[in-house]
Structure 1
Amino acid sequence: MTIKKIEHIGIMVKDIEASIKFYNEVIGMEHLNTILHANGVIKLAFLAFSGSPDAQIELIEGYNAELPAEGKTHHIAFTVEDLDAEVERLKSLNVKARDAQITTLPNGSRYFFFYGPDGELFELFEPGQA
């Protein structure tokens, strides 16, 4: 198993710029970067605390901002070294996948979503080359 750490926690937002400002000014997190998803619609912003880039919050705009307050956390992501091997391992364990394939982002990062036993959403994330 190559799971190394919690990569990020994804939170859906209505206005990514307002949320970046809030997480910066109120929570004290630094904005690391914002990228447009490969689908050309969803924006992803990553934030972390100064000196702690290993634990990040991912803000997601354009997916579904209409969930109730207790449903804003979209997923928990784990960093992996070999996404293909981990996806095969999940299949061998009969873990239910959300999508049939791995998604690649414009920066080369790749991810795969799957469900926990209570329907919670998890992501395996293989970082691309920055």
Structure 2
Amino acid sequence: MNFASVRIITGDIEPLVKFYEDITGCTVVMYTPDFAELQTSSGTLAIGSINTLALFGGQHIAEPASNRSVIIEFLVEDVDKRYEEISAVIDNTLVQAPTTMPWGNRSLLFRDPDSNLVNLFTPVTPQARQKFGLSAI
């Protein structure tokens, strides 16, 4: 079994698509007006409108903008540089400026337009870099 993706269900897909393009620098592919994907080499972030829930059996399966327990994480080459590049985009939703965590990642935490937590991180200790198959600094 391989992990494939995480899907965000939203009431307004376009602001989320633009937001994730802005913070990642990646292109989000819109397959329909109700479904899009941001594909990376290690997994996919899918974004679906609430309309897609009807295909799973009803509108009450998921509730947009109500997440309080999941953090969407992206490994980036240099979290401090990325912070400088996107600070205007995340200024009003910043939770934590880049901070080195006890497990060796330098982490930037903020919220997307639906209030989902997003973490951009860079492994900075030898152990953390090794975990992600990165060479020593």
Which structure has the highest helix share of the two? 2
TM-score band by shorter chain is 0.3 to 0.5
* TM-score relative to the length of structure 1: 0.41
Structure with larger Rg = 2
TM-score (norm 2): 0.39
